[in-house]
Structure formats: C-alpha cells, structure tokens
Homo-oligomer: A and B are copies of this chain.
C-alpha cells in the first residue's frame, strides 16, 4: 500500500495547539529570524546571511562584493530554511507584507545565482576557483538542497515560480556536472537528495529524479572518493578526515547500510531520501535498507523523547543502547529529520509505528527546540540537566540549562520553524484511494480524493479527537501505539473498529462524525535494561507527551526524588498557561551530612512531585531537570 503525502497536495488550515504554534512561528519566530539574517537582532550571534547574498550579487554584477562572505560554509541554508518556513506560514496564513519581504529576498538570491546556475554565496564571493573541489565539507549541494525545498514550498504557497526556476536551473547545472559530464562524487552532507525528489514531485522534471537516484546509488561505492578529492586540493574547511566515511554514511553503498551511524542529521536526511526514492521507484531492496535503518534507530538508538544521535562526538549516533540522559546530544535538527524519515516510511507502508515515532519526535524534541515564546532555541536536548555540571563540565559542555538566542551554527532554529509551519504535511496524507490522518491536529483539511474534514481536538492535552468528515472515499485514522483503550463513535454510535497496523479504516459516504477517545492514563514508562544509563529509572508519559521534573516545581531539587506507586493526577500550573502538568506521589530522600558516601540509609519523606511536559522545560530559568526519575517499586 502506498501513500504519498508529498505528492498529493492536500490543504490544511491549522487550529488548536498546532494552530497556536504556527501563529507563534508566523508572528514571532519568522520576523525574529529575518532580523537575525539581516543582522538587526540585538545581542545575537552575527548571521550576515542577507548581506552575503547582496555581496554575491555584487560580485556577479562586476563589483567587489562589499564586506565579503561571513559565516559557516553552509550559511546560505539559513536563508533557505527561513524562506521555506515563511512559505509554509503564507500557506497557512496569507500575509502580503511577508510575501513582499520574501519576494524581495528571492530577487536578491536570483541575482546571486551565476549564469551557469551555480548558487552559493561563500564560493561566489571569495573562492570561485574552489567550486565543487570539496564535496566532503563545502556544503554547496546541501545549500542547493535547502533552496530547492524552499522553492517548492514557496511555489506551493504562492504559485510564484521565480525561486523554483532559479533552483530548476541550479538542478540542471548539477545534472550537467554529475550526470552529463560524469563528475564523480556525492555530497558530504546529504540533503539535496530529498530536495531533488521534492523538486521532482513539484515540477515533474525527470532530471531531478535522475540526479537524486544518482547521488543515492553512487554514494559509498568508492570509499576512496573523498580521499582522492582531498589530495587534489590545497585547502579544507575543518580538516575533516576524508576516510571517516561512516560519519557521513558513505562507507558502503546506501542499500547495504545496516546500522544508523555517523552524524545523525546527515543520516536521517539520507534515509529520508532513500525512503522517498524507494516509494517513488517501488524499490523493495531500498525499502528493506530503510527498514533496517529504522529498526536500528527506533529499537536501539533513540531516546524516549524521539531524540537521536546521542553523542556530542560528531553530533552522531553512538553504539547500540548508549543513551545517557545528562550528556545527550539529541540535536533538534536530527529529530526534525527523524520526522522526515518517518513520513517517507509511511509512503512505503502505512504502519502506525512510523507515525508513533514521528509524533514522539515532534511533541517532545522538536518542540523542545524552541522556547515557549519562540525567542530562544535549543540545539542540544539533554534528558537531564544539573546546575553546576550541565554546560560546564567538559563532558557536559554542550548540554545547556537554558536556550540561547541563536547559534553561530544556526541550523536548528529555522528547522523547527519550517517543521511546525508544515505540520499538516506530516499529520495528513493521501494515497490513490485513501486519505490519512497520521497525527491529530485540529483544523480543516481538504484531500484530493474528495474527502474533506474538520478536526476538533485539544490534543496533545485533551486526548479526544472529533472529525466532521464529508465527501466520499476511504479515510484512515491512526490508532496511536500508546493508547491501550480507545473508544470510537461514528455518528454518535459506539463502533468496534478493527485496526490494521495501527490504522482504523472508515468508508465515508456523505457526512459523518467520527469521535475518538484515547487512553488518558498517566503512564509510567520503563526502559529496557539493555540501556545501562536508565536502569532503576522511570519516566511519565501521557498521550504523546513525555514529562520531566524541574527543580522549579519541586523545591529546587529533583535528584533526590523517587516516585512511588501512589496516584498521579493531572493539574494546571500558573507558570505554564495552557499546559497540563502531572502531580505524582513520591518520596524525597534526606541524606545526613556533607560526605559523598554514607552507610546510613536515607530517610524518605512523602511528597507530591510535579512533572511538566518535556517540551516546556527550561522556560522558567535555570534549574535541575530530569526526565528519568528514580522510583521505589
């Protein structure tokens, strides 16, 4: 069974929780990020992205390029992700002023494209001779990929082709280089593959599909490629080891990959493209590789929050079951990428496992990547912070207790923005004969198969979902893996629905009301003891949300708290409006004296401990935080 959520362009108007988040991104994040790109945000890391494009355009017009290029070699991609987020925002909420801003930016970008289709301000401004001499590190294809994604989104939102044409020209230029002229190689950071497949779907330009297939199929076939490339040049960006192919998933051909390895974002971007191509080409060998990689991630290398890439060393996947809470890396972008991968897996096979993970990554790590007011961002998402250690100790320096405003390497903030604004692409999908509700998102949806629906829900807090469906055809609604007791009513009548691989199927003819009441229990989650870091611990979940304990709600310290088997109830908290918190029976250990170790057993005092959704942590100043808590069984 095939579903193509990206192929069919169902429309979704977000409301409720997702609608509020989209509004936040539209009203706060997008303007803020634009001010960052223009270096107009106070007390923020310099970006220079906007100026880089002006300077590149100046060079191409025969000028001196102003104050030159500034930033990471992939600085351009911040502009692309911002435009993509703005495009999704415009699709949700038309805004002529924002559209004008984007149009103007696109005009500059178009002027920064060389006559041959080349687009990358870093090399256009300062190093024209170095173009494509460092696929290992230079991120030219990565940046092209992000602009291709932005172009598709902006075209979908506005019907305007200017950026789309720029990127089609860029794609043709790359096709000429890598296919017509047979230049060897593939990008050090996968991204363009999934973007070319989007561009193909949007434009039907077959060269895009061919080039994506070419990059995927040649990747890893010559383990000496990057080394040979490095020998030919006298410069590098970071002096990367050209033989560390596993880091960039180029140690073996893509369809021979077995374990999720290396830089986590690179990995899931590649796997996304592989899964996308597998469904486009109906390529079961490639899908089998994707399934192995999916299992590697979700059965052996994923945090309960949907965070992946547990080690700071290379922002990478570690070995199986190495999932420490306090030194976690779990990059925000990697969880965005895990959502992309999951959504493409759903196109190969409708299976609730994929949507369960997509939901886990979104409601926990992706949302945690942004402060509740949209003004600060996490790059790294630890599952435990300890004040005085986190952000300070050499092994915990990357695990910050509060979100910074921006990053010199600013990949994550715009990634969160674009993922939220395009939530409808992940929540809803469509195959030739069926409309799908993968995630539960309030709002109106129109599918191409003629079905339209309005979804009303207070999800992820209220775990009831009501669909007013009209039209004729088949509708599939996911039954979340976490819901052990779901009641279904169709037009008010309790209905027994048999689910297949985590989906319930409804034949719609006319107008129907489908109501789902999911399991509202607060759940204690236990980890498999194959994860050494989590033995003896428990965490709380309700619906798709992972909860955590913060010192703020618990008298300063949470490390001395152990949950008991007592009651857990939902509650509200003034300091987190609109958020359902959990009050749970626990004990606090009191320890006598200032020695590190004692043979005197601690005394336990009963307390009520308060847990808050993980995505809301770090919004109320620095304090201790724990997802996984001790428990007394």
Q: Is the CB of B327 within 8 A of A599?
A: no
Q: Count the copies.
A: 2
Contact at A389–B321, with CB atoms within 8 Å? Answer: yes
Known contacts A313-B395, A528-B595, then 5 further A-B pairs from the complex at CB < 8 Å, ordered by chain A residue:
A299-B594, A311-B395, A323-B596, A536-B536, A562-B633
Across the interface, do A319 and B528 meet the contact criterion of CB distance under 8 Å?
no
In this complex, what residue of B is CB-closest to A314? Answer: B394
A314 to B394, CA, bound (A): 9
Contacting chain B: which of A29-37, A282-290, A504-512, A600-608?
Answer: A600-608
Known: A526-B602, A599-B526. A386 touches B532 (CB 8 A): yes
Give the size of the chain A interface in residues (CB under 8 angstroms).
65
Please state if A595 and B526 are interface contacts (CB–CB under 8 Å): no
Q: How far is the CA of A312 from the CA of B396 in the complex (A)?
A: 12
Hey, which chain B residues are within 8 Å of A602, CB to CB? 526, 529
Chain B CB within 8 A of A559 CB:
yes
How long is the Cα–Cα vector from A604 to B633 in the complex, in angstroms? 10
For residue A589, CB closer than 8 A to chain B, the reply is: yes
List residues 45-95 of chain A with CB under 8 A from any CB of chain B. none
Using Cβ atoms and an 8 Å threshold, which residues of chain B touch A601? 524, 526, 633
The chain B residue sitting closest to A590, CB to CB, is: B529
Cβ-defined partner of A557 (8 Å) among B304, B396, B484, B529: B529
Residue numbers in B under 8 Å from A577 (CB-CB): none
Among A312, A525, A559, residue most surrounded by chain B Cβ atoms (within 10 Å): A559
* A531 (CB) vs chain B CBs: closest residue: B596
Q: How far is the CA of A632 from the CA of B591 in the complex (A)?
A: 17
Q: Which residues of B contact A597 (CB under 8 A)?
A: 304, 525-528
Query: Which residues from B are CB-within-8-Å of A598?
Result: 525-526, 528
Cβ-defined contact, A393 with B322, below 8 A: yes
- A311, A320, A531, A596 — which one has the most chain B CB atoms within 10 A of its CB? A596
Question: What's the Cα separation between A526 and B604 when bound, in Å?
Answer: 13
Residues of B contacting A482 in the complex (Cβ-Cβ under 8 angstroms)? 599
A316: chain B residues at CB < 8 Å are: 394
A515 interface residue per 8 A CB criterion: no
Cβ-defined contact, B304 with A389, below 8 A: no
Query: Is the CB of A191 closer than 8 A to any CB of chain B?
Result: no
In the complex, the answer to whether B591 meets A529 with C-beta atoms within 8 Å is: yes
Query: When chains A and B are docked, how far (Å) is the Cα of A300 from the Cα of B323?
Result: 26
Taking CB atoms and an 8 Å cut-off, the chain A residues in 380-395 that contact chain B are 384, 386, 388-389, 392-395
In the complex, residue of chain B having the shortest beta-carbon distance to the beta carbon of A541: B599
A388 contacts across to B, CB distance below 8 A:
319-321
- A contacts with B: majority SS: loop
Q: Mark A318-331, 1 if CB is under 8 A from B, else 0.
A: 11111110110000
B557 touches A527 (CB 8 A): no
Task: Decide if A523 is an interface residue (CB 8 Å cutoff).
Answer: yes
Whether B524 and A536, one on each chain, are in contact in the complex, defined by CB atoms closer than 8 angstroms, is no
| Docked complex Cα distance between A300 and B388 (Å) | 12
What's the least CB distance linking A595 to chain B, in Å? 7
Beta-carbon contact of B299 and A532 below 8 Å:
no
Enumerate chain B residues within 8 angstroms of A525, measured Cβ to Cβ: 597-599
CB of A472 within 8 Å of the partner chain: no
List A residues 486-529 near B (Cβ within 8 Å): 523-529
Give the distance to chain B from A392, nearest Cβ to Cβ, in Å: 5
Select from chain B the residue with minimum beta-carbon distance to A633. Answer: B632
Contact B394 A311 (CB under 8 A): yes
Q: Of the candidates B299, B396, B524, which one forms a contact with A596 in the assembled complex, judged by CB atoms under 8 Å apart?
A: B299
Specify which of B299, B319, B393, B533 is in contact with A595 (CB 8 Å cutoff). B299
Q: Chain A 328-367 against B: per-residue CB contact (8 Å), 1 yes, 0 no?
A: 0000000000000000000000000000000000000000
A560 at the interface (CB under 8 A from B): yes
Q: What's the nearest-Cβ distance from chain B to residue A324, in Å? A: 8
- Contact across chains for B596 and A393 when beta carbons are under 8 A apart: no
A532 in complex: contacting residue of B304, B326, B395, B589, CB < 8 Å:
B326
A535 contacts partner chain B, Cβ-Cβ < 8 Å? yes
In the assembly, what is the distance between CA of A602 and CA of B633, in Å?
Answer: 10
Please, could you name 29 A-B residue pairs with CB atoms under 8 Å apart, sorted by A?
Answer: A298-B596, A299-B595, A300-B596, A302-B596, A304-B596, A311-B395, A319-B393, A321-B386, A321-B389, A322-B396, A326-B532, A327-B395, A389-B532, A525-B598, A525-B599, A526-B591, A526-B598, A526-B600, A526-B601, A526-B602, A528-B595, A528-B597, A529-B559, A530-B559, A532-B559, A535-B559, A536-B630, A541-B599, A562-B633
Residues of B within 8 A of A633 (CB): 562, 601, 604, 632
Chain B positions within 8 Å of A524 at CB level: 599, 601
Chain B CB within 10 Å — which of A324, A524, A594 has the most?
A324
In the complex, chain B residues whose CB is within 8 Å of the CB of A322: 389, 393, 395-396
A323 to B327, CA, bound (A): 13
**A537 in contact (CB, < 8 A):** yes
B384 & A532 in contact (Cβ 8 Å cutoff): yes
Interface residues of A in 534-588 (CB under 8 A from B): 535-537, 541, 557, 559-560, 562
- Please report the C-alpha to C-alpha distance between residue A326 and residue B330 in the assembled complex, in whole angstroms: 19
Minimal Cβ-Cβ distance residue in B for A311: B394
Cα separation A312 to B523 with both chains bound (whole Å): 38
On whether the beta carbons of B559 and A311 are closer than 8 Å, the reply is no
CB closest chain-B residue, reference A384: B532
User: Which residues of B lie under 8 Å from residue A389 when comparing CB positions?
Assistant: 318-319, 321-322, 532
Q: Once the chains are docked, how many angstroms separate the CA of A333 from the CA of B395?
A: 22
Residue of B nearest to A300 (CB): B596
A591-B528 contact in complex given A596-B299, A599-B523, C-beta closer than 8 Å: yes
Taking the closest CB of chain B, its distance from the CB of A612, in whole angstroms, is 19
Instruction: Tell me whether A560 and B529 are in contact (CB under 8 A).
Output: yes
Task: Return chain B residues, CB-CB under 8 Å to A591.
Answer: 526, 528-529
Expressed in whole angstroms, the Cα–Cα distance for A598 and B484 within the complex equals 12
Please give the distance in Å from A365's CB to the nearest CB on chain B.
14
